[in-house]
Structures are given as C-alpha cells and as structure tokens.
Amino acid sequence: MKKIVFVLTAILAFSLSSSAQSKKELTKEEMVKQESLKKESPEVNAKNDALELTKFLGLKENQTNDFYRLFEGKYKALQNNLSDERKAELSRVMEAKIRATLGDDLMSKLEKNETLYKRLVN
C-alpha cells in the first residue's frame, strides 16, 4: 500500500513539474515591445503620442488634451496581458475614435505617415 501511494505521488509530482515548464515563448520583437512599454509610464507614452500627433497635424490644445486621454487609456489597457482578440478590438476602437475626432482630411494625412499611424492605432 505504501508503494502504491509513493508511486502515485511520484507520478503526480512529475506531471506537475512538466506542465509548469510549458510556458509560451515570446519572440524578440514582442519582448522588446513589452520592455519599452514597461519602461515608460502610460502617461509619458500618451503625452508623447499626443504631442507628435499635434505637431504633425497642427491640432488645437483642446484636441491635444482629448488625444492624451485617449492614448493614456490605450497604454493602460496594454499594460495588462491582453489576448490577441482584445488587442485587435482595441486597435479597431482606437482607429474609429481617431477617425471620428479628426475627420476625413486630417485622417488621410495621418494615414500617409504610416509609422505614426501604426503606433497610434496599434
């Protein structure tokens, strides 16, 4: 009886230790992105994005403040471990809010600057 309990305990211990090591590995690009997000606070990232957007499009101060709050919410959400579906939904919502705030003329100008556009939306 003692041997059976010992064998079952050993099997359970090995199965738990093997499942603990099956953690998903991140690509280098994902690791760099996560590290850069962790280094700076959401407020700093949001302010940088809002200021760059303002300089590029020549926005007014109240619009800059609106975009700051929008980007701050985005970066706070990205600090949580979101699934790919949630990230895609966040990206879709960000694009819709930016498009609604800017209008067609400014949005087409922003879309021409692909690096800025991708950073703001994704």
> What pLDDT sits at residue 21?
45
Q: Per-domain residue ranges for the chain?
A: 28-121
pTM above 0.85, yes or no: no
Per-residue pLDDT of the chain (122 residues; tens, 9 = 90+): 777 767 667 676 666 555 444 445 657 776 676 666 555 688 888 899 989 989 998 888 889 999 999 999 888 888 887 888 988 898 999 999 999 988 888 888 988 988 888 888 88
Strands (E), the chain: none
- Residue 98, Cβ neighbours under 10 Å: how many? 19
> What pLDDT sits at residue 23?
45
Distance of alpha carbon 79 from alpha carbon 66, whole angstroms: 21
> What pLDDT sits at residue 15?
67
Distance of alpha carbon 84 from alpha carbon 82, whole angstroms: 7
> What pLDDT sits at residue 20?
46
> What pLDDT sits at residue 46?
87
> What pLDDT sits at residue 92?
92
